[in-house]
Every structure is written in structure tokens, then in C-alpha cells.
Structure 1
Amino acid sequence: MDFFSILVIAVGLAMDAFAVSVASGVTITAMGLRQTVTIALSFGLFQGIMPVIGWLAGIGFRDYIAAYDHWLAFFLLTAIGAKMIYESFQLEEDRCDEFCMTGGRLFLLSVATSIDALAVGLSFSLLNITILTPALIIGVVTFLLSYLGIILGQRVGHVFEGKIEIAGGIVLILIGLKILLEHTVLRAV
């Protein structure tokens, strides 16, 4: 898989964390640099680790499903994208006047926003794609977009919140379709 495709997947995966970051920037009125970096680092770290976990799980049974791995990748990415689009309409509005992101809440949000990356890691293993470089790119992109999301949330508010999730979902669905077409229609040509 080429760098551009991995970058597009990374941006698509980071949209959950970006949306939560925007919401955090909007709802947490007293957030300094340390808290901003902590949230972005947590999202980036989990988003980078989860594909590795998914990839490791997938290599165990990759040989058994090699004949239809592209279909599985397509369905996984489509399901993830559809879930992101659905969740874009479910965003919460909880405002707090001080930094209210506890360690437990940050952990749960980090895990919740990176479950999609676990499935992508599984897809990568099925497609026989090495994981270290994509995982690093996914983690770094998520960190940067989460950091940017908090700053945008503090400045812009709810203008882009749901639209970002929708765009990320559409990107993942299109990547899944691209994989399916490359392994079926385009391979036959």
C-alpha cells in the first residue's frame, strides 16, 4: 500500500479523535497547553497501538481467508465508515468551566475512538501489509489532528463537529471500495 493511501486512511481514522477533540475544545473552557498535549498524545498513542493489535490478531488466521480478504477489508472499512457517519449525529454537548477530562474518561475516549483502527489493523494483516509504518503514521496524524481539533474547538465551536465525522466515514468507505475494486475488477483487467 502506498504512502498516500496510508495517509488517507490515517486521516479517516483520526476523524473520531478529531471530533472528540473539537468537542473537548468547545466544552472545556479552561484548558492549557499541558492538557491539550495530554489529550492529543493519548488519542495518538491509542490510535497507533490499536492497528498493531488488530494486525497481530489477523496474521493468525490470514492464510485461511486469503481468497476473500479483500471482501472482508471492504466490509470492515464500510462498517467503520458507516458507524462514523451514524455517530456524527450522536455528538454530546457537555460544557464544564474547568478541565474536567479525568484519566478514566480520557482512557475510555482514547479506546473508543481507536476501535476503528483495530479493525483497520486486522484488514492490513489480511492484505499482507506490514504494520509498523502505517501504525506510526496513524498515531502521528491522530496526535496532530487531535491537537488541532482542540484548538479549533476553542476558537470555532460546533461549526464543523458533525461534518468532520461524516467526511471521515466517507473516506473509509471509499478506501474499502478501492481495495475491493483493486482485488476484483481491476485485477481481472
Structure 2
Amino acid sequence: MKLITIFLIAVSLAMDAFAVSISNGVCTRGFGKKDAVRQAAFFGGFQFIMPVIGWFLGCSVKTYIEAVDHWIAFLLLLIIGGNMIYGSIKGGEDDNSCSTSLTNKMLFLQAIATSIDALAVGISFAILDVNILEAGIIIGVVSFVISCLGAYAGKYLGDKLQSKAEIIGGVVLILIGTKILLEHTLLGVG
């Protein structure tokens, strides 16, 4: 497989992480460079490791993973997004800024949810006999960079939309999960 093809796959896989990064940048009070890098490290790390795991799993579990990956991603993003919306509504009218903290647990769950498709791609790479170390590094680095860009875009938007940022972020996560679910169940994508 050509490097340009792997790069385009990497960009495609990073789009969910990009959208979640925007949401985190919007909704995290005091979001800064350290948060952006930590978030990008989670997303890039999982985008690296999931195709590697998928590659090792190989063809034997391909059908099983493809059957449930969209449900796992949907449920994780629904829970995270729902909690963000609930926290914003429960926070009271006096709170004009997001109260979401960017915990390692939250980043871990988001990283899993946004990298499930990379696991399936890794299985495909095993079938196609792709150099998984090279592909994994490209996917991880691209996801890291795109996640940083998304985080800064979200931070900018968060400064402009403080009062509604957490609700917007939660809705974005739920919409991403719904998009993944619909693509896999109705459109047969993935």
C-alpha cells in the first residue's frame, strides 16, 4: 500500500478525534497548550495502537468487530455527551462557563470511542499485508496533529460561546456517535 493511501486513511480516521478535540476545547475551562498536547497524545496513541491490535487479531475476528464497532463508539460518545449536557444544565444559571474538566478517564473513553474504526482498519491491513508499524506511526502522528488543531479551534470557539459551550460540545459528541451508528447500520459504511 502506498504511503499516500495510508496518509489519506490516517486523515479519515482522525476526523472523529478532530471533532471531539473541538468539543473538548470548547468545553474545558482554562483549556491550554498542556491540555491540547495531553488530549492529542491520547488520541494519537490510541490511533496508533488500535490498528496494531487489529492487525494482530487478523481476519479471524473481522466479522465480529465490524458487527459491533459502531455500537461501542455510539454508546461511549452518547454517555460522554449526555454527561456534558446534564452537567451544564445541572450547573445552574449562575455558571456562564463550562465546568468540564479534561480528566484522563474522559480522554481514555473518548480515545477508545474515536479509534474503534482504526481497529477494523488494522484487520484490513493484515489482510492486505501492510507494514503495520509504518502505517500505525503515520496514523498516530496524523491523529496527534489533527487533534491539536481541533483543540485550538475549540478553544477559540469556547471563548466566543462560553454560556452554551458545554451543551454544544455534548451535542457534537452525540451527533458524532449517531453519525457512526447510522453510517454502519443504514449506509453500510465501514
- TM-score, length basis structure 2: 0.66
Letter in 1 for 2:48: G
Matches within 5 A, 1:1-189: 1-58=1-58, 61=60, 94=85, 97-98=98-99, 100-156=101-157
8 Å CA contact 1:44–1:139 kept in 2: the answer is yes
Give the count of matched residue pairs.
157
Letter in 2 for 1:138: I
Structure number with the higher helix fraction is 2
8 Å CA contact 1:41–1:143 kept in 2: the answer is yes
Q: How far is the alpha carbon of 1:99 from its aligned partner?
A: 5.5
SS of residue paired to 2:31: coil
CA distance in 2 between partners of 1:127 and 1:104 (Å) = 34
8 Å CA contact 1:55–1:122 kept in 2: the answer is yes
SS of residue paired to 1:101: coil
SS of residue paired to 2:16: helix
Task: Point out the more displaced range, 22-31 or 117-126.
Answer: 22-31
Identity, in percent, stands at 42
Which deviations, in whole Å up to 9, do the C-alpha atoms of 1:136-185 show, x marking residues without a partner?
Answer: 01100111111110110121366xx68x967xx99xx9x97xxxxxxxxx
CA distance in 1 between partners of 2:114 and 2:14 (Å) = 8
Structure 2: unaligned runs, 5 residues or longer: 89-96, 159-167
Letter in 2 for 1:46: F
Letter in 2 for 1:7: F
SS of residue paired to 2:21: helix
8 Å CA contact 1:30–1:97 kept in 2: the answer is no
CA distance in 1 between partners of 2:7 and 2:139 (Å) = 7
Q: How far is the alpha carbon of 1:28 from its aligned partner?
A: 1.2
Structure 1 stretches of at least 4 aligned residues deviating more than 4 Å after TM superposition: 90-93
Q: How far is the alpha carbon of 1:29 from its aligned partner?
A: 2.8
